[in-house]
Amino acid sequence: MVSSSDTDTKEEAVPYAVARGDGMTGGGGLPMPKSKSSDKIDAAQNSEDTDDADEDGLVRPKVGAEMPKGRPSWFRVPAPSQAKDSRYEEVKSSLSNLNLATVCEEAQCPNIGECWNGGTGTIMLLGDTCTRGCMFCAVNTASTPPPPDPFEPFKTAEAVIQWGVDYIVLTSVDRDDIEDGGAGHFAMTVQLLKEKKPEMLVECLVSDFQGNLTSVEALATSGLDVYAHNMETVERLQKFVRDSRAGYRQSLSTLEHAKKAKPGLYTKTSLMLGLGETDEEVIQTMKDLRAIDVDVVTFGQYLRPTENHLSVVEYVTPEKFDEFRRIGEEMGFKYVASGPMVRSSYKAGEFYLEHMIKKERKEAKV
């Protein structure tokens, strides 16, 4: 006979990591809703599986859905340095003094410590309030954000030069309230940076400008080196993950036009995994991207920023990320960054891109 005290002792002996879970159970998302046409066919045929909404085994994410239990062991990132003379504090102080926002802070990026300690930051232009409400993003939203600071391009150029970096990423919230979506604001910032430091490489991670190809062209021809726009997820999951004003084909069209407007311009995009996508859908997305000659793609694990955002469907294994990297390289992407903690703007990726671009341009001159 086992006493209650013996049972309590055994329960207390369970390691915390085991009790918490390893992220491999739970979650799973929700079945895809049936289309109206599918419902009509089922009703007419009175089929046996009319109550089965998941005919193809496809799932989708949802706010409030069950999360995987715990997190896998591979989620480990360096904590930001608290030393007063650290590069992290230097970057943080510079941003604060110049009243600039970064996507690192606004989107609660888990790599902020590693990137800032390495002197890399991604500056957010056009304020910190977005006109869209994507279900994966923690940035503030409003239909009518404050107007952009007309001096921001000048302050941004000043801050970047102070940092002494050779590769900078500029990004922004969506500004559907501005006629050109903020493309002119971006273009001016790029031009000021290039005037101050011509050898600096500038990447702009931008919105879809509501499909406005004139805005795309204005930025693509401004002097930037990398035109980036994130697809975010596979085609089937777009409406569950992104704001209704965004779209798979619309995003593809902007990336395609940027390359047409400025031949030789590098184009880049990123997808989050763990939202219910299938391997086949990820591979099809890569095929669609290569069809329009996108140069760089990154894959990272989706992490829920708050309980008010989409739940994680699954934690994708490092092995699966490696598989997508290998497939992408075989398809002809110039660079594929793929891993649980990879983000669209990430120090390691920027380092590789910087050297790749300089190498290719040097070879082109020979």
Phi, psi of 15 (to 5 degrees): -55, 150
The burial class, CB within 10 Å (0-12 / 13-18 / 19+), for 306 is exposed
User: Is this structure's pTM higher than 0.85?
Assistant: no
Q: Per residue in 252-273, pLDDT tens?
A: 999 999 999 999 999 999 999 9
- Residue 217 vs residue 18, higher pLDDT: 217
pLDDT band at 2 (very low <50, low <70, confident <90, very high): very low
- Residue 10 vs residue 328, higher pLDDT: 328
CB 289 within 8 A of CB 268: no
Q: Per residue in 229-245, pLDDT tens?
A: 999 999 999 999 998 99
Considering only CA atoms, which of 274, 271, 184 is closest in space to residue 230?
271
User: With 70 as the cut, is the pLDDT of residue 42 above it?
Assistant: no
User: With 60 as the cut, is the pLDDT of residue 275 above it?
Assistant: yes
